[in-house]
Amino acid sequence: AADRLATEHGIDAEVIDLRTLIPLDAQAILRSVAKTSRLFTVEENPRALGWGAEIVSIVADEAFYDLDGPPVRITTPHIPLPAADLLEDAVLPNVERIAQTVKRSLQS
């Protein structure tokens, strides 16, 4: 998605691949927000009670004034995750949905 944003829309996205959630490298996230002034989280979980919410909470507590827009969480819809591969692929965040969500958010 970051490559597509760069090549098709001229948007330079910094990607942080969190290797673990415990311990969480909150300092890397906060450094990135300070540098980019934005926060997008992507997770293969429903929006409610996900780890993205915890990251947004940390950023709101510790880097709110570094943000130039609201944090955006890109998640699965609020439904049970389907077991069938085809249906699972339809609901998980994908390159197209991530790129479109970022682009739309930055345009508003």
pLDDT tens profile 46-83: 888 889 999 999 999 999 999 999 999 999 988 888 88
Burial of 89 from C-beta contacts in 10 A (0-12 / 13-18 / 19+)? exposed
The DSSP element (H or E) to which 2 belongs, if any, is helix 2-9
Token pair listed for 35: 């540098």
Q: Which residues of 32-64 are buried (b: 16+ CB within 10 A; e: fewer)?
A: bbeeeebbbbbbebeeeebebbebbebbeeebe
Q: Estimate to the nearest angstrom the gap between the alpha carbon of 64 and the chain centroid.
A: 16
Q: At a CB cut-off of 8 Å and minimum separation 6, what does 45 contact?
A: 51, 52, 75, 76
pTM across the whole model: 0.89
Identify the band that residue 92 occupies on the pLDDT scale cut at 50, 70 and 90: very high
